[in-house]
Amino acid sequence: MNELLNTVNTRLNEQFADSIVSAELLYDYPVFTIKHDKIHEVLTFLKNDEALNFHFLTDLTGMQTPDEKHLGVIYHLHNMPKNNRIRLKTFMPIEKPEVHTATDLWPAANWMERETYDFFGIKFKGHPNLKRILNMDEMDIFPLRKEYPLEDQERTDKDNSMFGR
């Protein structure tokens, strides 16, 4: 895996040296953090570069940083002929959670981006139909953001001492 990390990192630095925030091996998985305004260009390069050939988008999801000030998008890419996999992360301020859509590269990103919007409120610029996919259209919150509690704070039927609280 270290070889894959070095290969992809070298190719990315040749093309996007000022856009790579970090490149590291996490749990034997190459992970690259990219500036959010360049993520679409990097994804396009990784898909179209004949040597790298990351032509398959396995997954796309959102996240919120522990400090609760940034939202992020995580992309999992796969080169099937060589069975190489990488992860890309990009972060943006929670006040302006916008990133370019990947639906022009991978049509399957459509539902993944809608789900990420639905739960985290990340807007994918250029998405053909960015609306809620699982939650009700009337919802005015994004339930997987950390500012919303995981359970009803008004519950009286649960004894917190049973849960180590």
Transcribe 1-69 into DSSP letters: -HHHHHHHHHHHHHHHGGGEEEEEEETTEEEEEE-TTTHHHHHHHHHH-TTT---EEEEEEEEE-TTSS
Residue 88 counted as domain residue? yes
Condensed to tens digits (0 to 9), the pLDDT of residues 12-31 reads 999 999 999 999 999 989 99
Residue 94 counted as domain residue? yes
Residue 67 counted as domain residue? yes
* pLDDT at residue number 33: 98
* Distance from C-alpha of 39 to C-alpha of 101, rounded to nearest angstrom: 10
Residue 116 counted as domain residue? no
Query: Which CATH number covers residue 46?
Result: 3.30.460.80
Domain holding 80, by residue range, is 2-102
Residue 146 counted as domain residue? no
Average pLDDT over the chain reads 92
Tell me which residue has tokens 């070889």. Answer: 3
Hey, what amino acid is at 94?
I
149 secondary structure, DSSP code: -
Residue 152 counted as domain residue? no
Question: 132 or 157, which is more confident?
Answer: 132
Confidence band for 3, pLDDT divided at 50, 70 and 90: very high
* pLDDT at residue number 164: 60
Residue 157 counted as domain residue? no
Tokens for 7, please give them: 């290969």
Residue 120 counted as domain residue? no
Average pLDDT in the 124-136 region? 94
Overall domain count for the chain: 1
Average pLDDT in the 85-112 region? 97
Q: What is the pTM of this model?
A: 0.88
* pLDDT at residue number 149: 64
